[in-house]
Amino acid sequence: MEKLKNNFFQAYFAMPVPRIIVRTDCPEYTILSVNTAFETLMGQAAEQAAGKSIFQLFQANPPSINGNDLLSDALEKATDTNNPIEIPKLEMAASQSNGTLTWYHIELLPVAETNEKPGYLIITTRDITQTILNQLELEEASYREQTLHEELAATNEELLASNEELSTTIEDLKQSRESLQELNDELEKRVMDRTAELMLAQVKLKEKHALLDTIINEVPAGICVFDGPEMKMEMANKKLLNLWKRDESIMGMPLIEIMPELKEQAFPRLLHEVYTTGIAHSETDARAELLVEGIKRVVYRDFSYTPIKRNDGSTQSIVALTIDVTERSLARLREQQLIEELSATNEELSASNEELATTNEELNEAHEMQRKLISNLEQSELRFRMAIEAAQMGSWHIERKTKALLYNETLAKLFGYEGKTPMTYDQAIAQVTEDCKEKLLAEIEKAIEDGGEYDVTYAQRRFNDGEVIWLRSLGRVTPDEYGNFSVFSGVVMDITEQKEDEQRKNDFIGMVSHELKTPLTSLKGYAQILHLKAKKNQDDFALSALAKVIDQIKKMTGLINGFLDISRLESGKIHLDKSHFNLDELILENIEETSLLNTSHHIIFNACPQVSVIADRDKISSVISNIIGNAVKYAPEQTEIEINCELNDTHARITVKDQGTGIAEKDVEKLFDRFYRVESEQTQLISGFGIGLYLCAEIIERHHGTIGVESKIGVGSTFYFTLPIANQPVA
């Protein structure tokens, strides 16, 4: 049944030739289906015919001899051999078609899946009644002609006999001649009539041939006939020539010559097998590689090779039927590919799905964590706000580029701002006192540029009452949500009270130091007089005792001066008394002074000649003396202290290198802070207040120089400071 569904059989069955399909259920041969042409021919509707036995439709005449036996034999033979069988002439009973006799040309085409006993027979029926009638008429005419010939012969004999009598009776002869002439005329007329009839029959025959040609050429399948074992092309319909892109010139050529590319493919072999075995072969979706106009093309064909046999059963030629199914096959292949791709995609999708599920879980966990973090953050922010409020701190944000200012209520209160429109950055800066403004702006710019911490103490006037308040502002530049360092924010607190306390303390230190200085100056004076006297009296004990007293008085004076300087610094009262002097000379003076008092260390000085600076000579002197003094204080006796002076285009750099204890990294940062001392066993034994380096840093800063230290524990320290050099040498 599969095969019957095949396109070829469908097309073959649907052709305008009467065809029926019967089951091979001997002896019934039940009708399965009849085509439209058959319905027209037999006047039987398809539904009426289906299910009947073939013998109910075909009632042969006479049934026992030529008819049903002939048909049933043919049906049996076709079923058994699986070969097409032909009944050239099957005479039908008169009752079957309008009371006249009819003749059919019957072809039985077994339909079997390869090499199986056929399950179906396609029976092609052609009405050849007219042809038979024509033949019969011809036979009758020739029979009549024969009779006439015989009659003529008899007449001739009679004429011969009469000839003898001719001489005797001219009259008889004349009569005989006349009758002969008449007979002749009659004969000629009959011959002419018969010739005309014959010609008419020939014309009809030609018409039938033409019809057959039309059918063959209109069939939507390529049909050709290969002759002999060389498979010479005997006939091909237009469709086949079209499929092969060939013309009539291929007629008579062997297949391999027509298409040499088939040599390596299965088709020539299959044709040969059909030829030698006489068994038909058919395939669907067969792949072929053809050279079409010189280009190799892959095509797909449904095809069948059916042998045409001679009377002795040997194959004479093969009818090949080819239908181009390339599009259908390619569509199927594409469909197959698509299914494979789809299943691959499906697998990928399910893998991605699993990954997604895992990612989802991770995301959920991350979300949960984020939620907790946000809640913690909110709590922290709340606590932070509460802390800020409780500490009476103002908070502020400055947009880095636009300098747009945002602040909280406490800040507005601290600043005494009561304006209706929000306070701007410029308004806030305008309130800063002149002596703090420059430093504050520099600190803001520095923080914004470098993105570091910001901690500045400054004074400003309150907006509402103009009173000066001291503020400490702490901040930092933080990245925004896009990672840009665009937000500068922090807190500000009022430290006026603290500042006032410090001021009072400074004033006190200043006052005490000042008060101490007067008695100390007179003490120093008396000690120096006594020293001179002892020298005169050559009182060695008094001399050395008084030298120590003077030394201690100097130390004390230095300390008191330090405290005085601090109090002046803090209250902003420090004053730089600048003069043009030679830095080398000042360093040398300090070295000499130290050497006089101290002989325990070897001081080496590599001076740079003619380094002149414009600075406060006394204060720079106290810086040098402090740094050298520390080197002496914190380096073991008998070690070297190396003082160097280096120059570049703008600055002089003084370094003091000792071989002392060295300073730990954590201490280096704080070394220049007020009252900072390194806490160690050694430093505990050395007296000091931690104000020397603080003062040095303040003094150098006020001279627009830098100060610092490079140190290594156990190796020593190198303190340095720089000062801008003067353009002109000292006059």
Instruction: Enumerate binding residues for ligand ADP (CB under 6 A).
Output: 626, 630-631, 634, 658, 660-661, 663, 671, 677-678, 683, 688-694, 717
Maximum C-alpha span of the chain: 230
| Contacts of residue 396, Cβ cutoff 8 Å, sequence gap at least 6 | 405, 406, 407, 408, 411, 473, 475, 489, 490, 491, 492
Pick from 223, 403, 421, 225: nearest CA to 321: 223
The CB-of-566 to ligand ADP minimum distance in angstroms stands at: 11
Give whichever of 477 and 691 is closer to ligand ADP, judged by the CB atom: 691
Helix, strand, coil percentages for the chain (3-state, nearest 5): 50, 25, 25
| Contacts of residue 627, Cβ cutoff 8 Å, sequence gap at least 6 | 656, 696, 719, 721
Give whichever of 280 and 631 is closer to ligand ADP, judged by the CB atom: 631
Give whichever of 264 and 681 is closer to ligand ADP, judged by the CB atom: 681
* Strands of the sheet with 468-478, listed across from one edge: 405-407, 394-399, 487-494, 468-478, 453-461
User: Parallel, antiparallel, or unpaired: how do β-strands 100-111 and 468-478 relate?
Assistant: unpaired
Measured from the Cβ of residue 237, the count of other Cβ atoms closer than 10 Å reads 20
Give whichever of 626 and 655 is closer to ligand ADP, judged by the CB atom: 626
The CB-of-588 to ligand ADP minimum distance in angstroms stands at: 20
Query: Is-contact 22 121, C-beta < 8 A?
Result: yes
The CB-of-702 to ligand ADP minimum distance in angstroms stands at: 17
Give whichever of 477 and 671 is closer to ligand ADP, judged by the CB atom: 671
Distance between first and last Cα of the chain = 129
d(CA 631, CA 717): 8
Give whichever of 122 and 663 is closer to ligand ADP, judged by the CB atom: 663
The CB-of-577 to ligand ADP minimum distance in angstroms stands at: 23
Concatenating the DSSP letter of every residue in 399-443 gives ETTT--EEE-HHHHHHHT---SSPPPHHHHHHTB-HHHHHHHHHH
Measured from the Cβ of residue 191, the count of other Cβ atoms closer than 10 Å reads 13
The CB-of-443 to ligand ADP minimum distance in angstroms stands at: 24
Give the tokens for residue 168: 């005797």
Give whichever of 6 and 639 is closer to ligand ADP, judged by the CB atom: 639
The CB-of-401 to ligand ADP minimum distance in angstroms stands at: 41
The CB-of-561 to ligand ADP minimum distance in angstroms stands at: 13
The CB-of-625 to ligand ADP minimum distance in angstroms stands at: 11
Give me the torsion for CA of 110, 114, 115, 118, rounded to 10°: -30
Residue that is written with structure tokens 């075995």 in the block: 277
Give whichever of 407 and 694 is closer to ligand ADP, judged by the CB atom: 694
Give whichever of 432 and 678 is closer to ligand ADP, judged by the CB atom: 678
Whole-Å CA distances, 563 to 424, 622, 629: 41, 13, 17
Query: Is-contact 286 301, C-beta < 8 A?
Result: yes
- Residue of this chain nearest to ligand ADP (CB atom): 688
Give whichever of 458 and 634 is closer to ligand ADP, judged by the CB atom: 634
Give whichever of 217 and 718 is closer to ligand ADP, judged by the CB atom: 718
d(CA 105, CA 44): 18
Give whichever of 162 and 717 is closer to ligand ADP, judged by the CB atom: 717
Helix or strand (DSSP H, E) at 641 = strand 640-647
User: Parallel, antiparallel, or unpaired: how do β-strands 315-324 and 578-582 relate?
Assistant: unpaired
Pick from 121, 52, 54: nearest CA to 90: 54
Give whichever of 20 and 691 is closer to ligand ADP, judged by the CB atom: 691
Query: Is-contact 23 30, C-beta < 8 A?
Result: yes
d(CA 489, CA 486): 10
The CB-of-719 to ligand ADP minimum distance in angstroms stands at: 6
The CB-of-717 to ligand ADP minimum distance in angstroms stands at: 5
d(CA 638, CA 661): 14
